[in-house]
Amino acid sequence: MRSVLIFLLLSAFSAIAQNASVVIPYDSVNTFIGTAGDGNTFPGATLPLGMIQWSPDTRADGWYHYQDTTTRGFSLTHISGAGCTVYADLPILPWVTELSASAASPDNFEVPFSHNDEQAHPGYYSVTLGNGVKTELTVATRAGMGRFSFPAEGPRTLLLKAAAGATVNDPKRESDTSMIQIVGDDTITGTIHSGGFCQSDSNYVLYFVAKFAKPFSSYGTWTGEHAGDVHPGSRSASGRKDGAYISFSGTTDPVVMKIGISFVSEENAAKNLSKEITGWDFDKVHTAAKKKWIDMFDRVQTEGETPEQRTIFYTGLYHMFLSPNIFSDENGDYIGFDQKVRRLPAGQAQYANFSDWDIYRSLIHFQALLRPEETSQMMQSLVRDAEQSGWLPKWPVANDVSYVMGGDSSAILLSSAYAFGARDFDTASALRFMIKGATQPGTGLHGQSERPELSDYLSRGYLPTDTNHEDGASFTLEYDSADFADSQFAAALGDKAHAASLLASAQNWRKLFDPDSKFIRPRTPDGSFIAGWDPEHLLPHHVKSWDTSDQMGFEEGSTWQYTFMIPYNYAGLFEAMGGNRNVLPKLETFFTRLSGWGSNFTVSNEPDFCAPYAYIWTGSPWKTQEVVDRIRRETFTTKPDGLPGNDDLGATSGVYVWNALGMYPVIPGVGGLVLGTPMFSHATLKLGNGSVLEINSRGEGIYVQSVKLNSKSYESTWLPLDKLSAKTNQVEFTLGSEPNKSWASKPDEFPPSFDVPTK
């Protein structure tokens, strides 16, 4: 009996020890990945799809550059991974030096810090600055709480830089102003006018209300950036370089503040704050934020990876759920694209910040699968934007359009979200605006168009390339992709006529296909192929562009990138190329390298995202498996520069996440996944429709030997979502160290290609 008791005790202690060593997904996230190099991510505190992103900025561009050693403050709003600056509103900086009327303006004050004194987790950030102040930040959806622990001796001051957002120094933004006001002895309110994402004409207005747990003992404002611009005792300031400061005395307790934001009004900012953060318990808010992220990560559970792979994967998943962002207030109010305040019914939300050109290639499908309710509201948000402005928005920021990047990408978002299960939105209105954008030339906000040069596209079937339109070829292919996605959406809604006509126009890529070089080649306005053109010549002849990867006719890329961006009809493309004898050598050259610009794949370039799966349409899925494995091993790391380029609101992270799972949403607007090779021995996805997808692998190596779907042999590399109809669905890969060149090598085992029927 005694031996049995000892055995039971030892077993219990062993179980406790094992549980104590389990690393939950939350603890695997490293929010510093992407903060160096070109990642442009931020390490601060936010919730999934939250409105507020409270994070440190190290430069006036509103980004956190890991290599920097000073911070200019902790601002309230950010976009993760975008290639252009925007937001970074109201940097707040702890200060321990006395301010007086003769002091230099605090607008440009900075404080040193060390990474040794930083901690960051989803929903939380802290750092002890070089001036001795420990700053801790945590958030709710539209509000945040800061705890500032000052040294025992000396002034205890907070600087609130009302006019120090990311685009304040843009000469095009000279009309931007801000206003800040000190109310009583414990409240600060303000309004910030900003915008200008990617030098666009976009605008937004942000309102804030900050409250403090204890009254401040003194205060003041500043109205410029020079010595003498500080005004002790002043309660308000406005302009382009204004701000306020508050000081505390009589205690060594931390200074605790909470702040609410709104894009509608100060009144709504105050309501958001009072609704979301009711007391002064910082740790309670932090715990709630942590729980939100734990619940999010619980939807995707993995086994069998290395610690480094786990960190990259879950950090990627974290990045994929930072945007789009809640834009409506707790009471349902939001500011529309027509600048009118509108109120949504209970249970609905307006979203903003859609990096559409990027996220239609990897992100929206994942969000729709895991969180179809929120994704449906995102799609309804795009429909509302269209109803208020007349057109689907292009790269919308807040309640305005920036028109960044070519194409008609919101249409693809709508179609792909619907195909992947997010269907609770006004699909009839969505289709109406999709068809309008595809068939009716016109201008929208700021005098710009959803589809620039649409008349040319409709009459010629392509956009010509010349000095007036330098990216005609890539714009044409983006319009083709949008037409294809529109056709699939129309077909799903029973509009056969538009489904057929849009599928036909999606084949316009053929009008730019050069039968001699077997590449997409720009045409001039007179209809001839551009002269003196060489697929290997990547630098433009005349384009004045910051991006030297541009080849004449192509936006941020070359014919190598864009020729393989026709995933909805790889069969037609490869037939036009002359079959595998020509396609395979091109692909081999293309994948010689995985980054850098040239006649090669570039993992950071969105048009390339689907290209590793092109091999599958040649009957060579093992080649895809090799490239996918290389991408996972060679281009992503756990270091601050571990993202291969701008993360673009989680789009680049999505490449790793999908590839690690062993599948990818290659075809826009179609509900299906192309199979690659899984990194995990086991992964479980809790889908938003209540079902479960289990992905299992056994064996050693990266090469797929066979696949089973729900215990039955599966011979195709194409997995339609309608085959995942069971409560629990299992995809099982058998892997090996050598390619199985017979598996899924026949045309009837390929994913579909969509072409117009031959007569």
Write the pLDDT tens digit of every residue in 201-217: 999 999 999 999 999 99
pLDDT of 541 over the 90 cut:
no
* E strands in 579-671: 663-664
| Coil/strand/helix, residue 663 | strand
| DSSP for residue 125 | E
Rounded Cα distance between 36 and 253, Å, is 35
The amino acid occupying position 449 is S
pLDDT at 540 (0 to 100): 47
- CATH 2.70.98.10 region(s) of the chain? 25-296
- Rounded CA-CA distance 698/733 in Å is 7
The rounded mean pLDDT for the chain is 94
Give Cα separations from 759 to 131, 400, 453, 505 (angstroms): 77, 45, 31, 16
Q: What is the pLDDT of residue 538?
A: 53
Looking at residue 21, what is its pLDDT? 53
State how far the Cα of 359 lies from the Cα of 356, in Å rounded to an integer. Answer: 5
Query: pLDDT value at position 546?
Result: 34
Which pLDDT band holds residue 363 (cuts at 50, 70, 90)? Answer: very high
Dist. CA 166–CA 21, nearest whole Å = 42
Asked if the model's pLDDT at residue 307 lies above 90, the reply is yes
What is d(CA 437, CA 451) in angstroms, rounded to the nearest whole number?
7
Element containing residue 159 per DSSP (H, E)? strand 156-160
Determine contact, residues 249/154, Cβ cutoff 8 Å.
no
How confident is residue 549, by pLDDT bands cut at 50, 70 and 90? low
Q: Are strands 111-112 and 55-57 parallel, antiparallel or unpaired?
A: unpaired
- Give backbone dihedrals phi and psi of 335, rounded to 5 degrees, phi first: -95, 125
Can you tell me the mean pLDDT for 452-463? 97
- Determine the distance from the C-alpha atom of residue 522 to the mean position of all C-alpha atoms in its chain, rounded to a whole number: 30
Q: Tell me the residue type at 391.
A: W
Q: So what's the pLDDT on residue 7? A: 39
Distances (CA, A) of 38 to 43, 72, 388, 656, 745: 14, 20, 35, 17, 38
Is it the case that residue 531 has pLDDT exceeding 90? no
CATH 3.30.2080.10 fits 581-759, yes or no: yes
HSE-up (13 A, CA, CB side) for residue 518: 16
- For the segment 497-517, the average pLDDT, to the nearest whole number, is 97
Contact 468/716 with Cβ under 8 angstroms?
Answer: no
Separation of alpha carbons 318 and 24, rounded Å:
13
Give the pLDDT confidence of 706-753 residue by residue, as tens digits. Answer: 999 999 999 999 999 999 999 999 999 999 999 999 999 999 999 999
pLDDT of residue 414: 98
> Where in the chain is CATH 1.20.1050.60?
351-380+392-446
Q: Could you tell me the pTM of the whole model?
A: 0.95
DSSP state, 174? T
pLDDT at 207: 98
What is d(CA 274, CA 258) in angstroms, rounded to the nearest whole number? 10
CA-CA distance, 188 to 198, in Å (whole number)?
Answer: 31
- HSE toward the beta carbon, residue 611, CA cutoff 13 A: 27
Residue 537 banded pLDDT, cuts 50, 70, 90: low
Confidence of residue 11 (pLDDT cuts 50, 70, 90): very low
Which of 563-600 are b and which e, b meaning 16 or more Cβ less than 10 Å from the residue's Cβ?
A: bbbbbbbbbbbbebbeeeeebbebbeebbebbbebbbb
Say if CB 311 and CB 653 are below 8 A apart.
no
- pLDDT tens digit sequence for 670-720: 999 999 999 999 999 999 999 999 999 999 999 999 999 999 999 999 999
Residue 9 pLDDT > 80, yes or no? Answer: no
243-248/156-160 β-pairing: antiparallel
Count CA within 13 A, CB hemisphere, residue 469.
21
Domain 25-296 in CATH 3.40.50.170? The answer is no
Q: The domain 351-380+392-446: what is its CATH number?
A: 1.20.1050.60
| Residue in 344, 353, 395 with CA at minimum distance from that of residue 378 | 353
* Beta bridge partner(s), residue 256: 147
| Best CA proximity match to 367, nearest among 422, 426, 300, 310 | 422
pLDDT of residue 759: 58
CB 168 within 8 A of CB 57: no
The pLDDT value recorded for residue 554 is 92
Amino acid letter, 514: D
Identify whether the C-beta of residue 130 lies closer than 8 Å to the C-beta of residue 96.
no
Kindly state the greatest CA–CA separation across the chain: 96
End-to-end CA distance of the chain: 84
Query: What single letter denotes the amino acid at residue 46?
Result: T
Sequence ranges of the chain with CATH classification 3.30.2080.10: 581-759
pLDDT > 90: percent of the chain: 88
Q: What confidence score (pLDDT) does residue 468 get? A: 78
Task: Identify whether the C-beta of residue 568 lies closer than 8 Å to the C-beta of residue 617.
Answer: no
**Where is average pLDDT lowest: 82-86, 359-363, 473-477?**
82-86
Q: What is the 3-state secondary structure (H, E, C) of 439-459?
A: HCCCCCHHHCCCCCCHHHHHH
> What tokens appear for 84 in the block?
């252009």
Q: Which of 140, 142, 143 is nearest to 292 (CA)?
A: 140
Region 3-32: mean pLDDT is 60
**Least confident stretch, 20-29, 273-282, 384-393, 603-612:** 20-29
Pairwise CA distance, residues 549 & 499, whole Å: 35
What is the pLDDT, as a whole number, of residue 3? 46
User: Between residues 9 and 32, which one has the greater pLDDT?
Assistant: 32
List pLDDT tens digits, range 563-583: 999 999 999 999 999 999 999
718-720 and 672-675 beta bridge pairing: antiparallel
- Mean pLDDT in residue range 618-632: 98
Which whole number is the average pLDDT over 634-644? 98
Taking only Cα atoms into account, the Rg of the chain, rounded to an integer number of angstroms, comes to 27
- Over 50: is that where the pLDDT of 237 sits? yes
Per-residue confidence (pLDDT) for residue 654, from 0 to 100: 98
Average pLDDT rounded to a whole number, residues 129-133: 97
- The amino acid occupying position 268 is N
- Alpha-carbon distances of 638 from 30, 36, 702, rounded to whole Å: 8, 11, 22
From residue 357, alpha-carbon distances to 6, 394, 429, 698 in Å are 62, 8, 21, 37
